[in-house]
Amino acid sequence: MLHKNLIAGEWVGGDASANINPSNTNDVIGEYARASSEQTRAAIAAAKAAFPSWSRAPILERHALLKRAGDEIMTRKEELGRLLAREEGKTLPEAIGEVTRAGQIFDFFAGEVLRLTGEVLPSVRPGVGVEITRDAIGVVGVITPWNFPIAIPAWKIAPALAYGNTVVLKPADLVPGCAWALVDILSRAGAPAGVVNLVMGRGSVVGQTMLDSPDVNALTFTGSVGTGKRVALASIEHNRKFQLEMGGKNPFLVLDDADLSVAVEAAANSSFFSTGQRCTASSRLIVTEGIHDRFVAALTSRLQGLVIDDALKSETHIGPVVDESQLKQDVDYIEIGRKEGAKLAFGGDRIERDTPGFFLQPALFTEATNQMRIAREEIFGPVAAVIRVKDYDEALAVANDTDFGLSSGIATTSLKHATHFKRNSEAGMVMVNLPTAGVDFHVPFGGRKGSSFGPREQGRYAAEFYTSVKTAYTFA
């Protein structure tokens, strides 16, 4: 069966691409159509044509669509979680958790449709009233990455629809399955023709066509820094609104007074779970010297107990790297770390399992410095470097010495240090005695510096991107 693109309410075929399971490269999940430039332009035109009606649709119609979609996602979470684990390589519990989050996001924004608000203010001029409302923007282009193949499309599409916009979705070419399933759910839930369009395929074809189109009124992107810059430049040329979520080099501080077991569990989760393939993952473990040796020994012991295997096996803690290209990047960075003088204290070897797949033992470096490439550049794999520091002040300085600013964390039992870190960490999200990865669905998500640009995603703050403020004056 060929999984087709959805354009103007019709399923449209194209050149096929195989969706391969990274836990077992002999397992072909399905064939998925790749859209052409012409098909992408047709999808954009369909979204533009559908916008006037959808943006003025009764709020109960928009609410019902999102509610039905969220309910079906939750009902099918085990099935969709299995699909996600097969195509991306997350363990099954992580995959089901991601699907659950997608369902919760749709449920939240279904509620937001019924909570749309504005302001009525008196003017400084007698007899004049002022209303402040939010209007939908128009056609929203959605470009999503491979590491969260259903949650990220959900947290972009749900608010776009809730606020009355129409959508053209281009998922990562590597993981089309969950995006196709999500759009299929929205189509059957009653999305009118053209309101949600799916164009799978290569970024050089589909993504570039979206960037070049003057009819895309806003573009929300999650992915690499390099591609994010291209999105920004193209959007400026068309004077379109754009939102970027890009890289991270997230620090996790461990202070002398930390609860060792809490610190180790949070660090292991931050750095290595989901195979380290999270933009919020921590690849810099900044540890004060009084606890350094005990922390390294305990974390190494924790890593020795982790099972790396097929994402669908119940005993697996860490699944495969997503594909051969990403695996090569991880292995290359491990070699770079060695050459830079860091000590490979654990792991870093490619490993074989019962099925052909992209399995990599988590790599832990010690004696790293913050000037090394492994501490400056995003690796996006199960690779972390321990940086030894003297005290909290040095730890904070090292943590903030980065071009990125997405997430940060600290393990401490000191209220003073926790409070100071929350106020002074140069990151959009700060965790105390928790992993740097793992956020709630109803609160803002986003970073600072080179990690993010534009309004925050998720929660009520999503309205800042997906709407435009209108001020209306009336003399009566």
Under 8 Å between Cβ of 426 and 451:
no
Residue 229: exposure state from Cβ atoms within 10 A (0-12, 13-18, ≥19): middle
Q: Which two tokens stand for residue 295?
A: 């922390």
Q: Could you write out the DSSP letters of every residue in 217-277?
A: -EEEEES-HHHHHHHHHHHHHHT-EEEEE----EEEEE-TTS-HHHHHHHHHHHHHGGGG-
Q: Report the C-alpha dihedral over residues 181, 185, 187, 189, rounded to 10 degrees.
A: 180
CA 87 distance to own-chain centroid: 16
Angle between helices 176-188 and 151-162 (to 10 degrees): 30
- pLDDT at residue 152, rounded to an integer: 98
- pLDDT at residue 101, rounded to an integer: 98
Under 8 Å between Cβ of 158 and 106:
yes
CA distances from 99 to 70, 85, 196, 326 (A): 10, 10, 19, 23
> Where in the sequence numbering do the catalytic residues fall?
245, 279
Taking the C-alpha atoms of residue 466 and residue 135, their distance in angstroms, rounded to an integer, is 9
- pLDDT at residue 214, rounded to an integer: 97
CA 30 distance to own-chain centroid: 24
Instruction: Encode the chain (476 residues) as per-residue pLDDT tens digits.
Output: 899 999 999 999 999 999 999 999 999 999 999 999 999 999 999 999 999 999 999 999 999 999 999 999 999 999 999 999 999 999 999 999 999 999 999 999 999 999 999 999 999 999 999 999 999 999 999 999 999 999 999 999 999 999 999 999 999 999 999 999 999 999 999 999 999 999 999 999 999 999 999 999 999 999 999 999 999 999 999 999 999 999 899 999 999 999 999 999 999 999 999 999 999 999 999 999 999 999 999 999 999 999 999 999 999 999 999 999 999 999 999 999 999 999 999 999 999 999 999 999 999 999 999 999 999 999 999 999 999 999 999 999 999 999 999 999 999 999 999 999 999 999 999 999 999 998 999 999 999 999 999 999 999 999 999 999 999 999 98
Q: Would residue 234 be called left, alpha or beta, if left means φ above 0 and alpha means ψ between -120 and 50 degrees? A: alpha
